[in-house]
Amino acid sequence: MATVSTSDFRKGLKVILDGEPYEILDCEFRKPGKGQANYTLRLVNLLKGTKLDRNYKSGESLEAADVHRGDGQYMYRDAEGFHFMSNTDYEQYMLPNETVGTRGDFLLDGATVEMLFWNGQLIDFTPPSHVVVEITYTEPAARGDTAGNVTKAAETSAGVEVQVPAFVKQGDKIKVDARTGSYVERVNE
């Protein structure tokens, strides 16, 4: 496996620590008056999401991680987890429910996602930033509550409840920020 020396350390580089892939979030170089230069790295575990800080002396090296990104498509969800397909080789991959978490709330069939692979296995994905969903149920606006920042709960076609402005009614299509689950705007089609 390829190694990366301290002189090549930079933000975004993927390395192996304790047998797991990490990405360098921050790299700080310090050269004291005497002695060797030091590199302080802020790293994130790509499997668990945990962060840690490590110090390395000039001349040390780490193993490079075989991590790459690729475009894919969300296919469906079952009891095992979420299923995706790579757009390059049409292979299908599955991520367990606990790995996906709430990021899967607004995944619609056929949605384009960015997939993250390590040693040929899917380890994570990035959902689309915004999705358009239809309001399947919401209470009508109360008379006089249409001005200002009044919001109400609305059930979406994705099966997730979203807070929407009072003027939104059943059957409307809205754009939702899929990362936060918040209302962005009403869509006129």
User: How far apart, in whole angstroms, are the C-alpha atoms of residue 40 and residue 80?
Assistant: 40
Instruction: Evaluate whether 3-64 and 130-187 have a shared fold.
Output: no
Q: What is the pLDDT of residue 1?
A: 64
Per-residue pLDDT of the chain (189 residues; tens, 9 = 90+): 689 999 899 998 999 999 999 999 999 999 888 888 899 999 999 888 899 999 999 999 999 998 999 999 999 999 999 999 999 999 999 999 888 888 888 888 899 999 999 988 999 999 899 999 999 999 887 766 556 678 889 999 888 999 998 888 899 999 999 888 899 999 986
* Residues composing the chain: 189
* Angle, CA of 159, 164 and 169, to the nearest 5°: 80
User: How far apart, in whole angstroms, are the C-alpha atoms of residue 115 and residue 101?
Assistant: 16
The domain made up of 67-126 has a fold known as OB fold (Dihydrolipoamide Acetyltransferase, E2P) (2.40.50)
φ/ψ of 8, rounded to 5, equals -95, 0
DSSP per residue over 119-187, as a string? TTEEEEEE--SEEEEEEEEEPPPPTT-SSSS-EEEEEETTS-EEEEETT--TT-EEEEETTTTEEEEEE
Domain residue extents for the chain: 3-64, 67-126, 130-187
Q: Kindly list the distances between the CA atom of residue 154 and the CA atoms of 2, 62, 147, 173, in Å, as whole numbers in the listed order.
A: 52, 50, 18, 11
Report residue 52 as tokens: 């840690």
Q: Kindly list the distances between the CA atom of residue 165 and the CA atoms of 127, 146, 182, 186, 187, in Å, as whole numbers in the listed order.
A: 25, 8, 11, 9, 13
DSSP state of 104: G
Confirm if 173 and 189 have CB atoms less than 8 A apart: yes
Q: What is the pLDDT of residue 189?
A: 67
**In terms of CATH architecture, what is 130-187?**
Beta Barrel (2.40)
The domain made up of 3-64 has a fold known as SH3 type barrels. (2.30.30)
Confirm if 6 and 59 have CB atoms less than 8 A apart: yes
